[in-house]
Amino acid sequence: MVTSLVIHSYRGGTGKSTTTANLSVLLAALGKNVATIDMDITSPGLHVIYNVSSQIMKYTLNDYIYGKCAIEDAVIDLTQYLKLPRGKLYFLGSSMRPEDIVKVIREGYSEGFFRHIAKSLKEIYDMEYVIFDTHPGLNEDTLLAVMSSDVSLLLSRMDKQDLYGSYITTQILKKFGRISYVILNMVPPHLADNVDLPSEVSGIIDATVIGVLPFYEEVLAHRSKGVFCIHHPKHPYSSKMLALAKKLIELTTTERATIDLIRR
């Protein structure tokens, strides 16, 4: 079975693309077949972190949406490109051309688009996880991605506005019966060391916090020059991301019956 995940946030600047890239690499390192899809159509950036140039990305998600290519033409196999020892990692990027961005913003996506993508990738590439990296906020496209995915991973900082927005988002998801978890990112070190923080924040936003990622200057200084966990596998950030990847596998395995029920 394929599990579709959407990584989103109420506000921008929470590190969605960085989290998506590192999480996907570590899921592959754990032997999983993974695909990431850059749905942040207004400011796509996953290709930068993966070091995928325009010469490599000959076709994009936009081309597939409008029937200009088959999905296989737009999917890039990053497994060998990133020298991953186990698993498989595929990538489907969005166009950086202004006219393509404007067209998608105006016309949007159909309701069944996200499930169609996940199903197609499962059939063609035997995918186990499909991760949609969305743009922030509660606009129509993001909500469609959330409602069409099996599990929602909501990134939040320890900022009052972020936490309030995360609470609003989780309440909306609850009304639709969606499975959602929260990842606290860029947490000040003096707060990240508090073992009670996950339960405290879970109580505030009424959703389970499954990961606390402290703020690391090294991650910021990396400036999206490749996937951080590949370049710095022994860094504490990489260790925490690996633990998060393992936790995610555990949760999606446990929630399988609920996911299947939602699909029906």
d(CA 58, CA 138): 31
Q: Is the pLDDT of residue 105 over 60?
A: no
The phi, psi pair for 131, rounded to 5°, reads: -110, 120
Residues 122-136 have a mean pLDDT of 93
pLDDT at 212: 97
Two structure tokens written together for 9? 């946030």
Residue 88: CATH number of its domain: 3.40.50.300
* pLDDT, tens digit (0-9, with 9 covering 90-100), for 35-89: 999 987 777 889 999 999 888 999 998 888 888 999 999 999 999 999 999 999 9
Query: What range does the domain containing 224 cover?
Result: 3-263
The total number of structural domains that make up the chain: 1
Q: Is the pLDDT of residue 160 over 80?
A: yes
Q: Is the pLDDT of residue 263 over 70?
A: no
pLDDT at 43: 77
pLDDT at 146: 79
Q: Is the pLDDT of residue 104 over 80?
A: no
